[in-house]
Structure 1
Amino acid sequence: MKHLLNLLAAIALLVWGTHLVRTGILRVFGANLRQVLARSISNRYTAAVSGIGVTALLQSSTATALIVSAFVGQGLITLPLALAVMLGADIGTSLVTVVFSFDLSWLSPLLIFTGVVMFISRSSTNVGRFGRVLIGLGLMLLALRLVSESTQIMVQSPIVQALLASISSDLLLEITVGALLAVLSYSSLAIVLLTATLASTGIVPTEMALGLVLGANLGSGLLGVLTTARSPVEVRHVPLGNLVFKCLGVLVAAPLIGVWLRELRPHLADDVSTVVLFHLSFNILLALLFIGVVHPIGRAVMQMLPKPQRIANGRPHHLDPSALGTPSLAISCAAREALHQADVVETMLLGILTVLKNNDLRLAEELRKLDDTVDELYSAIKYYLTKISREALGEEESRRWTDIISFTINMEQIGDTIERILMDIEDKKIRKGRSFSDAGMAEICELHARLIDNLRLGMSVFLNGSVRDAQKLLEEKARFRDLEHAYASTHLERLSGNTVQSIETSSLHIDLISDLKRINSHICSIAYPILESAGALAPSRLRSDVLATSKEPI
């Protein structure tokens, strides 16, 4: 029992080390990896090469699948090119397996010690995050040595020998066990390394080890499908296509296991080399077979999983759960959804003027219902952002996280204000059959037009972070305030002239221009984080020289 627990602990340590490396690389290089993928994917061959490089760093083809799937979901790359990336990604993780198959246990203490020092001393920086990667690499090497030591004792047990004999008699069972282990451990890399180590100690026959390797590859494809099960259809296409590659590859490779053992095993150094090189050869074979047919496979996948007819509603379109493992990608998804929320607010704002001019009660009711959509989007974005690990965010990403929260809060408050404006228009104008004077309506139209322009400028500032546009937006706040004061004064002049229409709509008119000013203030708030980070904000608007000379009453 003690030796079994030692083996299970070593396996758990191997899986955990793989997790540390994958998440650490994503935290340090996540945004850069996305840029490399986005810029290098020009054709199927460069896509495959970029997949090899990125996955060699991540040590996880599943992580690469999630990143590429999100790209497809956002329309940044086509499905065939994404499938080509995945063919390269599988080769990349196989190359990492070959590297780890060498005896590098002597590096384990050095990596763990260096990683711990870096992580403790500068945990919130990229240096500390890279230290986390070194810790993971050291734990993986340590775990492989512990697995080898534990299995050398267990291989002598008659019970273990009988159990392995029952499994090794059925190739389909071996593949199933390998796939199940890969899904449970969330890492085909860990399972292939474990299988190679077990084969080297004799606890697992070499023929059975190759069956487990095929199963681990199949489990890797299945893992991507399961991870993206709740994502939009466009995102699910890539893992499904990759799983199709894996299934076809297993069908081709399974009958060739005997040929591999008979023809190539005599030329290989040991059982470890036999296992890891079979894993590498399998994925190279997959790439050679399918790199030329990614377009037909892509079309077949889209037929297997067709896109539903998209209906305009308030449901989140861009909050991809599978992107949460890559914080920089999740931040991008949240920003896109925030812009979708702003689009709904713009629709509400545009509709106000139509309601005012045409006394359209039906449109007013539809616009007020859109406020529920704005509120739902705000809640969804906020909840999505809370699931992103703040520790995994760099300084710039953390600031972007805050900007998105602030932006969505402002949009939600604008939606509430518009709903209140519409209710006032219904109660104080439409149902009472009143109308604004020509001069009064012209003033409202002027403020409304400026408000629409400012909202669109604010969306641009949020998207691009332009300091120049942010300054322009803040200048519009002062102009809007001056206009509001001027129009309030001219309205009072019309009241003193006993203009009947102005008298009847006075309360609504004053409230309306005040609410429009309030909406403009929320829009202009988008500029503050941009200007503050650029150091373009003054500490205070108060004039200290005036305050110093003023005397408070006793």
Structure 2
Amino acid sequence: MNSMVVLFQIAGAVALLLFGIGLVRDGATEAFGVRMRMALGLGTRTGPRAFFSGLVATLGLQSSTATALMTASFVDRGLMKERMAQVVLLGANVGTALTAFIVSAGLEAASPLLIFTGYLMARRKSAIWTGTGRALIGLGLMLVSLTMLQFATQFLRDSPELAAFLPMLDTAWPVALFFAASIAVMCSSSLAAVLLIMSLNLPVGLTVVMVLGANLGGAVPAVLATGNLDAGARRVTLGNLVIRAIGCMAVLPFAGKVGESLLQMPIPQTGLAVETHLVFNCILALVIWPFTGLIARLVNTAMPDEGEQKAVGPSWLDESALQTPLLALTGASREVMAIGDAVDEMLTQTRKAFHDNDTAPLAQVDELERRVDRRQQEVKTYLSRLGSSATEDEKRQSITILDYVINLEHVGDIIDRGLGPEVRKKVGLGLRFSNEGYQEIDRMFLMTQENMRLAQSVFLSRDRDMARRLMELKIEIRKHERQSAQRHLIRLREGHEGTRETSSLHLDILRDLKRINAHVVSVAHPILDEEGLLFESRLRSR
């Protein structure tokens, strides 16, 4: 009976820890998710910046898996090179080790203050305040769970059965490695596995081995989660798993000596498991960094790109469903989502052409634009033949779908007839932007792409909070466009040569990206209007 009680106590403590990690991740994503994604996308031009971006993103998200998935999505969309993605994940590994170090630094007494402060902040209306509040609550719960783990495992530490079992496990390090890796996979978190190992009274060598297993298992959930993405995204997470496996295999034979050396190091005593986790990931990053390009090429050889292209033709407009309005609207919505994905790809290829100073990707933009035009016309024709049995609600939904697909078609036109010729002009005339001007435009590109993805989610979910966030981001983009134009004019007055050559081009690209955002954000209007959250005019009343 005592064993069952202890088992449930440990299970409850681990569940609370995972729940706290999830709260921190969700809160940080709600408050700063778009900013973190943009920082991650902008911060990968050099190795140190890529490493630092991965580290900071993981400290905010409390999960190297979340950072890995975000990085893989950037590679999948052509926004990040695979070598830089591996450097980002090295930073993410160090970030999750730093998180364990901070959480285990004896801050349990601060948990009530963190939870109380987070509760007060979460009651605010702003997404930043609410998200930050949820993250603080999650951090407080993580500290509470550590206290619970220490209490729950006290029985195990004093157990004669465990004392007899540990020498057996200590003589079978490969078994211990895969056992710890299995725990990390089940928890979907190397952080949770390391903190659980920390709470047990294990021999020095066995502690190091179990931490190595937690690191190895922590890379597996990202590999599984990217199984449906393109080969480029899968290579990123697989490469991270290979890097961790190399590190584990190199250290495993010397685990005992490594543990004894760490005990002699003059670092704050947070527990051997946490210290091993931090030192292992820091040294692994330093050693592997010069070879990330080689590892990326090897993984590329083992997992080449698929030869077949994704299907692009209409696949959801079922003529037989027209007499059942609900089915027809569902099919039309899925078709419009596919059109949105095609428009997003147009934007991705245009940014790639701008970034690489190469017009080759614009040929795909032209082809995608023709497909978008054809498919949006088919959606409009399809919905015009909707059965007469449609209710008022269903008719309103069909109008919402039509509004969104028309806006997507306008976005495609702006990309093809506005941004495309502007990028061709840049490449054809050999124009070079100033560093500041280039970064401002690239940031505007990334903000627009993130808004495009968020608009797709709003269209699919019709979530009010997500729609409100999309509107808030529109305001940020408007401010960024205005500030960039002002800074451009200041540089122009100061006589910067690159600014003078690219003046009209800089302002035209900013204007077109702002227009794209205006069309994209319109998907939130009917949702917020139904809730009475929109003003009919932006004019201030007298």
TM-score (norm 2): 0.62
Q: Which residue of 2 aligns with 1:175?
A: 177
Could you say what secondary structure the match of 1:264 adopts?
helix
Matched residue type, 2:172: D
Q: Which residue of 2 aligns with 1:83?
A: 86
Q: Which residue of 2 aligns with 1:208?
A: 206
Contact 2:216–2:241 (CA<8 Å) still a contact in 1?
A: yes
Given the alignment, which residue of 211, 235, 240 partners 2:233?
235
Given the alignment, which residue of 190, 199, 204 partners 2:192?
190
Could you say what secondary structure the match of 1:393 adopts?
helix
Distance 1:114 1:82 in 2: 36
Contact 1:17–1:139 (CA<8 Å) still a contact in 2?
A: yes
Could you say what secondary structure the match of 1:77 adopts?
coil
Given the alignment, which residue of 99, 108, 111 partners 2:114?
111
Corresponding position: 1:397 with 2:424: no
Q: Which residue of 1 aligns with 2:263?
A: 265
Q: CA deviation at 1:72?
A: 0.7
Deviations, residues 304-362 of structure 1 (Å, cap 9, x unaligned): 11111133622799xxxxxxxxxxxxxx99944455686524246999xxxxxxxxxxx
Deviations, residues 383-409 of structure 1 (Å, cap 9, x unaligned): 9768769477362427899xxxxxxxx
- In structure 2, the CA distance between the partners of 1:122 and 1:222, relative to structure 1 (3 Å rule), is same
Which structure 2 residues correspond to residues 392-471 of structure 1 after superposition, within 5 A? 393=466, 395-397=468-470, 464-466=513-515
Could you say what secondary structure the match of 2:227 adopts?
coil
Which structure 2 residues correspond to residues 180-329 of structure 1 after superposition, within 5 A? 180-198=182-200, 202=201, 204-267=202-265, 272-311=270-309, 313-314=311-312
- In structure 2, the CA distance between the partners of 1:193 and 1:390, relative to structure 1 (3 Å rule), is farther
- In structure 2, the CA distance between the partners of 1:388 and 1:173, relative to structure 1 (3 Å rule), is farther
Could you say what secondary structure the match of 1:161 adopts?
helix
Distance 1:334 1:114 in 2: 44
Matched residue type, 2:466: L
Q: Which residue of 2 aligns with 1:481?
A: none
Contact 1:52–1:91 (CA<8 Å) still a contact in 2?
A: yes
Aligned length: 382
Q: CA deviation at 1:164?
A: 3.4
Deviations, residues 55-87 of structure 1 (Å, cap 9, x unaligned): 122221111111111111111111001111111
Matched residue type, 1:466: R
Could you say what secondary structure the match of 1:306 adopts?
coil
Matched residue type, 2:308: R
Q: CA deviation at 1:268?
A: 5.6
Q: CA deviation at 1:196?
A: 1.4
Q: Which residue of 2 aligns with 1:93?
A: 96
- Work out the percentage of aligned pairs sharing the same amino acid: 32
- In structure 2, the CA distance between the partners of 1:16 and 1:269, relative to structure 1 (3 Å rule), is same
Q: Which residue of 2 aligns with 1:346?
A: 373
Question: Rg bigger for which structure?
Answer: 1
Contact 1:20–1:135 (CA<8 Å) still a contact in 2?
A: yes
Q: Which residue of 2 aligns with 1:37?
A: 40
Q: Which residue of 1 aligns with 2:105?
A: 102
Given the alignment, which residue of 11, 16, 25 partners 1:13?
16
Contact 1:334–1:384 (CA<8 Å) still a contact in 2?
A: no
- In structure 2, the CA distance between the partners of 1:109 and 1:126, relative to structure 1 (3 Å rule), is same
Deviates more, 1:44-53 or 1:61-70: 44-53
Could you say what secondary structure the match of 1:466 adopts?
helix
- In structure 2, the CA distance between the partners of 1:393 and 1:166, relative to structure 1 (3 Å rule), is farther
Given the alignment, which residue of 73, 77, 85 partners 1:70?
73
Contact 1:125–1:394 (CA<8 Å) still a contact in 2?
A: no
Contact 2:227–2:234 (CA<8 Å) still a contact in 1?
A: yes
Q: Which residue of 2 aligns with 1:454?
A: none
Could you say what secondary structure the match of 1:311 adopts?
coil
Distance 1:191 1:468 in 2: 42
- In structure 2, the CA distance between the partners of 1:316 and 1:92, relative to structure 1 (3 Å rule), is farther
- In structure 2, the CA distance between the partners of 1:395 and 1:528, relative to structure 1 (3 Å rule), is closer
Distance 1:5 1:291 in 2: 42
Deviations, residues 189-236 of structure 1 (Å, cap 9, x unaligned): 1111221122xxx2x333222111101110111121011112222211
Matched residue type, 1:220: G
Q: CA deviation at 1:270?
A: 8.6
Contact 2:47–2:84 (CA<8 Å) still a contact in 1?
A: yes
Contact 1:461–1:527 (CA<8 Å) still a contact in 2?
A: no
Corresponding position: 1:52 with 2:55: yes
Contact 2:458–2:467 (CA<8 Å) still a contact in 1?
A: no
Deviations, residues 227-273 of structure 1 (Å, cap 9, x unaligned): 11122222111101101101111111112212213333244679743
- In structure 2, the CA distance between the partners of 1:188 and 1:394, relative to structure 1 (3 Å rule), is farther
Q: CA deviation at 1:31?
A: 0.6
Contact 2:72–2:234 (CA<8 Å) still a contact in 1?
A: yes
Q: CA deviation at 1:6?
A: 1.3
Supply the RMSD in Å over aligned alpha carbons: 4.1
Contact 1:21–1:133 (CA<8 Å) still a contact in 2?
A: yes
- In structure 2, the CA distance between the partners of 1:54 and 1:468, relative to structure 1 (3 Å rule), is closer
Distance 1:387 1:186 in 2: 27
Distance 1:264 1:528 in 2: 58
Deviates more, 1:304-313 or 1:99-108: 304-313
Q: Which residue of 1 aligns with 2:151?
A: 149
Matched residue type, 1:53: V
Deviations, residues 266-301 of structure 1 (Å, cap 9, x unaligned): 446797432212111111121111111111111111
Q: Which residue of 1 aligns with 2:440?
A: none
Where structure 1 has 5 or more consecutive residues not aligned to the other structure, the ranges are 318-331, 352-373, 402-459, 471-522, 540-554
Q: Which residue of 1 aligns with 2:438?
A: none
Distance 2:203 2:243 in 1: 27
Contact 2:112–2:140 (CA<8 Å) still a contact in 1?
A: yes
- In structure 2, the CA distance between the partners of 1:350 and 1:388, relative to structure 1 (3 Å rule), is closer
Q: CA deviation at 1:32?
A: 0.5
Distance 1:34 1:154 in 2: 42
Given the alignment, which residue of 2, 5, 30 partners 1:2?
5
- In structure 2, the CA distance between the partners of 1:462 and 1:286, relative to structure 1 (3 Å rule), is same
- In structure 2, the CA distance between the partners of 1:191 and 1:123, relative to structure 1 (3 Å rule), is farther
Q: CA deviation at 1:90?
A: 0.7
- In structure 2, the CA distance between the partners of 1:527 and 1:290, relative to structure 1 (3 Å rule), is closer
Could you say what secondary structure the match of 2:155 adopts?
helix
Deviations, residues 348-386 of structure 1 (Å, cap 9, x unaligned): 6999xxxxxxxxxxxxxxxxxxxxxx9xx99xx999768
Q: Which residue of 1 aligns with 2:432?
A: none
Contact 2:27–2:130 (CA<8 Å) still a contact in 1?
A: no
Q: Which residue of 1 aligns with 2:449?
A: none
- In structure 2, the CA distance between the partners of 1:316 and 1:292, relative to structure 1 (3 Å rule), is farther
Q: Which residue of 1 aligns with 2:388?
A: none
